[in-house]
Amino acid sequence: MSLSQIVAMVSKRMILGRNKVRWANILQPPITVDPSKTRSKPRCGTAAVVLGGSLWLVCGMIAPGFARAAEDAVPISSKEVQERWHSRMNGKHFVARIHMDADLGGLTEARKLTVHRDDEDGAAERVLIRFDAPESLRNLGFLYFEQADRPNDYFLYRPAVKRVRRLQQHAVTNNLYGVDPEFLGFGIAETEPTRVKSMRRVRLNGREVYRLVERARRANPRFEERVIWIDQDTFIPLRTEHQLNGRRVLTAETVEIRDIQGVPTPVHMRFERPLEGSRVDLTIEEVDYERPIPDEIFSVFTLMKAQRTRR
């Protein structure tokens, strides 16, 4: 059989396979609940296969069915899904302006915050949160340091007493003035170490996701089990549930994701704590991943300095 005959036979089989094998294009745009913002699939039959963390792009020469078959042949492990989720923001920093509509058990008000975040080149996340409004919370600040080999560090500055107080883990277990440091870093603040219990592929609101179930490695008042629906393209959690004593204590949903400066960013999130009757609707009004952040921003002195400079 000649070379031209072999090429023709293989091409025919690939074309036939294209009609039989279902293919999901992982190069589709970041998720958004607005269908008008989605774009069409790439032209010329672009296929993408994730193999060992590398992205291989083949345009026009490989049928889409072959790409999906290759992806299924090398399934991603639950550990790798967890690692990609946790490391999604490694090496990134940002400054963000955030608007919150909070209903905290009957207390309803709008809040505005400024958030600075980095992770020291992937070693440990640092988050500085400062309230800009309402006036009753203006200049209140919260500083968080993730620690790998000891309990995380939390500091709170209250303008009324003009002091910085170190907080214990239990003091920030659920939320602090409606704020949860696990989500305001856009990534995953490892507030509690976990182990993977199970994972399977499912669909959530029409999207292919990994449903990851984690168990806390130690007893804590935050959660015993955490269930996360992770987008297969961006590895952003689309839904998170915390379970404690057999009851759901927190639900967090990502409503909209946009690509900002090349970074898929959850710009609209909703949080509900059913046992407390509280709800928070959070919108990212502005975020900058490129503006440098001085290292001294992440210090207890910065919390107190805000009170003096904003008068």
Number of domains in the chain: 2
Position 88 in a domain: no
Distance CA 21, CA 55 (A): 21
Identify the domain boundary among 43, 75, 107.
75
Identify the domain boundary among 75, 107, 133.
75
- Residue whose C-alpha is closest to residue 96's, from 179, 191, 192, 190: 179
Are both 178 and 266 inside the same structural domain? yes
Say which residues have a Cβ less than 8 Å from residue 275's Cβ, sequence separation at least 6: 247, 249
Distance CA 49, CA 67 (A): 6
Position 200 in a domain: yes
Locate 33 and state its tokens: 């609940």
- Residue whose C-alpha is closest to residue 196's, from 175, 210, 184: 210
pLDDT tens-digit map of 233-247: 999 999 999 999 999
Position 205 in a domain: yes
* Structural domain of 291: 94-309
Distance CA 30, CA 39 (A): 10
Contact, 256 vs 270, CB < 8 A? Answer: no
β-sheet bridge partners, residue 109: 102
Q: What is the pLDDT along the chain (311 residues), one digit of tens a residue?
A: 554 444 344 344 333 333 332 223 323 344 444 434 333 333 333 222 222 232 222 223 223 333 333 344 357 999 999 999 988 888 889 999 999 999 988 889 999 999 999 887 666 788 899 999 999 999 999 998 888 778 788 899 999 898 999 987 666 655 667 666 666 654 445 567 889 999 999 999 999 999 999 999 988 888 999 999 999 999 999 999 999 999 999 999 999 999 999 999 999 999 999 998 999 999 999 999 999 999 999 998 888 875 555 44
Contact, 266 vs 295, CB < 8 A? Answer: no
The CA-atom distances, in angstroms, between 310 and each of 159, 293, 305 are 11, 19, 9
Are both 32 and 150 inside the same structural domain? no
Position 81 in a domain: no
Are both 146 and 209 inside the same structural domain? yes
Are both 154 and 214 inside the same structural domain? yes
pLDDT tens-digit map of 31-88: 444 434 333 333 333 222 222 232 222 223 223 333 333 344 357 999 999 999 988 8
H/E stretch holding 306: helix 300-309
Position 296 in a domain: yes
Position 82 in a domain: no
Position 286 in a domain: yes
